[in-house]
Structure 1
Amino acid sequence: MDTIKNYVETLFLEFPKTKEVLRAKQEILTIMEDHYLALLDEGKSEHEAIGQVISEFGSIDELREELEFATREREPENGIEEEEMYDYLTNRRKDARGLSLGISGCLLAVGALIGLSVYGAEMLGLLLFFVTIAISVGVIIYNGMQFSKNNRMLNDRYIPAHLNMEAQKLKQGYQKSFQISLVFGICLCVLSVSPLFFFQMFTYAEYGMPFMFLFLAIGVFLIIYGSIIYSSFDKFIKEKYFIADEDELGPNAMQAKYGDAARTKHLLERVYWPIVVMIYFGWSFMTGSWGMSWMIFVMAGIFYSVVEAIFVKK
């Protein structure tokens, strides 16, 4: 009997663990076990019964076609197209570059301020500092808005199985580049103090500060840029529906993630924290203990996790 179970387990290794696949797996296992027991009753030996059951089973190609057809039949109509996924990833790469440059620009602004101050050009340093900070912050805000815009375009739409597989291939292909950018970024951040020691040998430690911020800016750029791109593939891998914001799931994503508990989760999100705020203000006004009543939010956060674990099953 264990031989038949192991055989069925092997057959289904390549299939995703969806409800349809698990149901088909259990049905096939039941049929094969019943047939096996019937052959034993007919006087067959254990090895003969197992061999006949397996030989009479249909080919794996037929099983694959049936399961893929059943899955395609149940796919929602609002699926994301492959071209849309590639457009999203392209825009994500551009936005990641802009966001990383903006953050690195803030570090470079500090380095420029310190460097020019060392050379006695404090006013020029301040001017360059504020101009660079203003540009960098503007770039961060703009690319942050672009992030949200690109996410909203695909929010709560179904991710077909072939896109899931394509995203996994793209992620694997980018993994080496991500590892290189992460390693170099971390190394540059760690080595950013080396210019201080270098210039300290010549009693000019302050000259090493601008180079320290330059190393930090390049390292931070590599870490953030690589991490954003690498994580963008997960948008099409980890969930059945595209999730723009983990804190505000769409109806389809909510249903897919929480099933029958989706309505409870939705109600909990809409009602719980407003009630907590009302309790906070009510308690604070009645007791006058504004300095301590903020602890209500700490306790509410802990209690929320408990309530969600009890009433909301993923």
Structure 2
Amino acid sequence: MDTIKNYVETLFLEFPNTQEVQRAKQEILTIMEDHYLALIDEGKSEHEAIGQVISEFGSIDELREELEFATREKEPENAIAEAEMYHYLTERKKDTRGLSLGISGCLLAVGVLIGLSISGAEMFGFLLFFIILAISVGIIIYYGMQFSKNGLVLNDRYVPVELNKEAQKLKQGYQKSFQISLVFGIGLCVLSISPIFLFQMFTYAEYGIPVMFFFLAIGVFLIIYGGVNYASFDKFIKEKYFIADEDALGPNAMQAKYGSSAQGKHLLTRIYWPIVTLIFLWFSFSSNEWGRSWLIFVFAGIFYTILEALFVKK
């Protein structure tokens, strides 16, 4: 009997976990189990009965078409189109490249300052340091704002099953690039200390420090760029509704994630931390234990995680 159950579970792995799918799965399982018991009563062995039940079941193609059609019929009108997903991923890649360059530029600025200071050009080093730093911070601010705005037009909109599958294919195709960028990025960060030892062999160890920051800048760029781009596909894979900001779920995403507990989770989000802050201020002023009262936020964070898990839709 377990073999039949496992067979039916395998057949339905590709379908979304909806009420229609669960109902169809239960009906098929009931029919197959009844047929199996009838064959056993006829004197068939367990293996013969299981083999005959599975062989007589036939193809699931017709059922697949019916279920996929039913799913398409019930998709919300604001479903995300494939072109919108590709546009989002393209813009996200541009913004990620800008953020990565900005962060790497800050590291490079430090390396330039140290390198020129060692060479005796301290003032010129400070000048270049502030110029590169200002440009890098400006890039971070600009692309950071673009990064936040990029997903707003898709926020709380339905992710169709076909789009989910396409995103999974894209993520799988990008996996090799992600692994390469991660390996080389971490490798450069680990090996960034080696120039110091290399220059020390020629009694110029201090000249290895700016080279170290150059290695770090490249390594950090590769790690951030590859990691963020790889995670971008999850926006269309992990949830039924697109979530632009994990800390501010839309009504549809909230309902899909927390089900009937969505209103309770929304209320918890709005009142929990203000109450914790009031408790912190009351305890700190009344006891004058400012050195220890900050622990309230630590325990509150742990307790919030536990409460949030209780609201998640099972």
Normalising by the residue count of structure 2, what TM-score does the alignment of the two structures yield? 0.92
Partner of 1:80: 80
Tell me, yes or no, if the aligned pair for 2:262 and 2:311 is still in contact at 8 Å. no
**What are the Cα deviations for residues 46-92 of structure 1, in whole angstroms up to 9, with x where unaligned?**
57765664455453111111111121122111111111101101101
Shift of 1:249: 0.9
How far apart are the structure 1 equivalents of 2:305 and 2:177? 37
Tell me, yes or no, if the aligned pair for 2:156 and 2:241 is still in contact at 8 Å. yes
Shift of 1:102: 0.3
How far apart are the structure 2 equivalents of 1:52 and 1:194? 67
Q: Which moved more, 1:30-39 or 1:181-190?
A: 30-39
Partner of 1:256: 256
Shift of 1:258: 1.0
Partner of 1:107: 107
Q: Percent identity?
A: 78
Partner of 1:116: 116
How far apart are the structure 1 equivalents of 2:201 and 2:17? 62
Shift of 1:231: 0.8
Shift of 1:131: 0.8
Classify the secondary structure of the residue corresponding to 1:247: coil
**What are the Cα deviations for residues 190-244 of structure 1, in whole angstroms up to 9, with x where unaligned?**
1111211121111111111221111111111111111111111111111111111
RMSD: 2.1
Number of residue pairs aligned between Structure 1 and Structure 2: 313
For residues 78 and 39 of structure 1, do their structure 2 counterparts lie closer, same or farther at Cα, with a shift above 3 Å needed?
Answer: same
Shift of 1:19: 3.6
Tell me, yes or no, if the aligned pair for 2:111 and 2:214 is still in contact at 8 Å. yes
For residues 31 and 135 of structure 1, do their structure 2 counterparts lie closer, same or farther at Cα, with a shift above 3 Å needed?
Answer: same
Tell me, yes or no, if the aligned pair for 2:257 and 2:312 is still in contact at 8 Å. no
For structure 2, the residue ranges without an aligned partner over 5 or more in a row are none
How far apart are the structure 1 equivalents of 2:283 and 2:13? 57
Shift of 1:2: 4.1
How far apart are the structure 2 equivalents of 1:167 and 1:254? 22
1:20 equivalenced with 2:20 (yes/no): yes
Shift of 1:38: 4.4
For residues 307 and 169 of structure 1, do their structure 2 counterparts lie closer, same or farther at Cα, with a shift above 3 Å needed?
Answer: closer
Tell me, yes or no, if the aligned pair for 2:283 and 2:293 is still in contact at 8 Å. yes
Partner of 2:138: 138
Matches within 5 A, 1:40-59: 43=42, 45-46=44-45, 53-54=53-54, 57=57, 59=59
Partner of 1:163: 163
Tell me, yes or no, if the aligned pair for 1:264 and 1:312 is still in contact at 8 Å. no
Tell me, yes or no, if the aligned pair for 1:196 and 1:208 is still in contact at 8 Å. yes
Q: Which moved more, 1:289-298 or 1:233-242?
A: 289-298
Partner of 1:289: 289
Shift of 1:294: 2.4
Partner of 1:31: 31
Shift of 1:187: 1.3
For residues 312 and 121 of structure 1, do their structure 2 counterparts lie closer, same or farther at Cα, with a shift above 3 Å needed?
Answer: same
How far apart are the structure 2 equivalents of 1:2 and 1:312? 30
Tell me, yes or no, if the aligned pair for 1:106 and 1:132 is still in contact at 8 Å. yes
One-letter identity of the residue aligned with 1:45 = K
For residues 111 and 3 of structure 1, do their structure 2 counterparts lie closer, same or farther at Cα, with a shift above 3 Å needed?
Answer: closer
Classify the secondary structure of the residue corresponding to 1:189: helix
One-letter identity of the residue aligned with 1:135 = I
For structure 1, the residue ranges without an aligned partner over 5 or more in a row are none
For residues 223 and 305 of structure 1, do their structure 2 counterparts lie closer, same or farther at Cα, with a shift above 3 Å needed?
Answer: closer
Classify the secondary structure of the residue corresponding to 1:181: helix
Partner of 1:268: 268
Tell me, yes or no, if the aligned pair for 2:259 and 2:312 is still in contact at 8 Å. no
Tell me, yes or no, if the aligned pair for 1:8 and 1:25 is still in contact at 8 Å. yes
Normalising by the residue count of structure 1, what TM-score does the alignment of the two structures yield? 0.92
For residues 266 and 206 of structure 1, do their structure 2 counterparts lie closer, same or farther at Cα, with a shift above 3 Å needed?
Answer: same
How far apart are the structure 2 equivalents of 1:228 and 1:309? 26
Classify the secondary structure of the residue corresponding to 1:202: coil
How far apart are the structure 1 equivalents of 2:48 and 2:144? 66
Shift of 1:10: 3.7
One-letter identity of the residue aligned with 1:85 = M
